[in-house]
């Protein structure tokens, strides 16, 4: 008797997860993914550097397109990433992350604006939680989300990195917020 397709699907070997570290101008980034799709970007210089599980394979080759595009971004020659992505999240988180990908380079949106755009005007805090759970910062540009008053709010890599990314992009809010500090 042959096993059913469903039985075969549940016994198939798991797809290995690969990872590598990339030295970015803002500090080292850990990249992880499987099946040719990026699943994680983590700020290693932040408060919680991350160690991949032992069964993950350290290999740079699967991440060459991501590394190339990140280098172009930090050089100011790339404004949008064209990579296969496979973030894991709830349906609401995935919807928020899709909106984040639509925020143009050098522009910002508030949590409330995103909530209203999703048809959930009361969900600004939930948008903030989804933004904070984004597993692909920079690629899915959660750094482009700011407070309703234009203030820089929490960021997984820390506010100095958020400010650096927005300054790299020439975001007007950062120029306005820090113009007095830059003169002193």
Catalytic residues: 142
Alpha carbons within 13 A on the beta-carbon side of 32 = 20
CA–CA separation, 28 vs 46, rounded Å? 9
Tokens of 40: 């994680």
| Neighbouring C-beta atoms of residue 70, cutoff 10 Å | 22
List, in order, residues 6 or more apart from 162 with CB less than 8 Å away.
143, 152, 155
């Amino acid at each position: 008797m042959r096993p059913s397709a469903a039985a075969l699907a549940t016994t198939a070997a798991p797809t290995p997860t690969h990872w590598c570290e990339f030295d970015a101008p803002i500090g080292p980034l850990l990249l992880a993914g499987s099946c040719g799709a990026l699943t994680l970007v983590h700020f290693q210089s932040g408060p919680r550097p991350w160690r991949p599980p032992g069964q993950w394979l350290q290999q740079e080759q699967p991440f060459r397109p991501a590394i190339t595009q990140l280098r172009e971004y930090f050089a100011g020659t790339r404004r949008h990433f064209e990579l296969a992505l496979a973030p894991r999240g709830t349906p609401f988180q995935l919807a928020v992350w899709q909106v984040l990908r639509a925020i143009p380079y050098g522009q910002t949106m508030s949590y409330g604006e995103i909530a209203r755009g999703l048809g959930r005007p009361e969900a600004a805090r939930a948008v903030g939680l989804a933004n904070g759970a984004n597993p692909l910062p920079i690629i899915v540009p959660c750094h482009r989300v700011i407070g309703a008053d234009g203030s820089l709010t929490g960021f997984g890599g820390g506010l100095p990195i958020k400010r650096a990314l927005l300054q790299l992009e020439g975001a007007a809010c950062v120029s306005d917020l820090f113009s007095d500090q830059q003169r002193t």
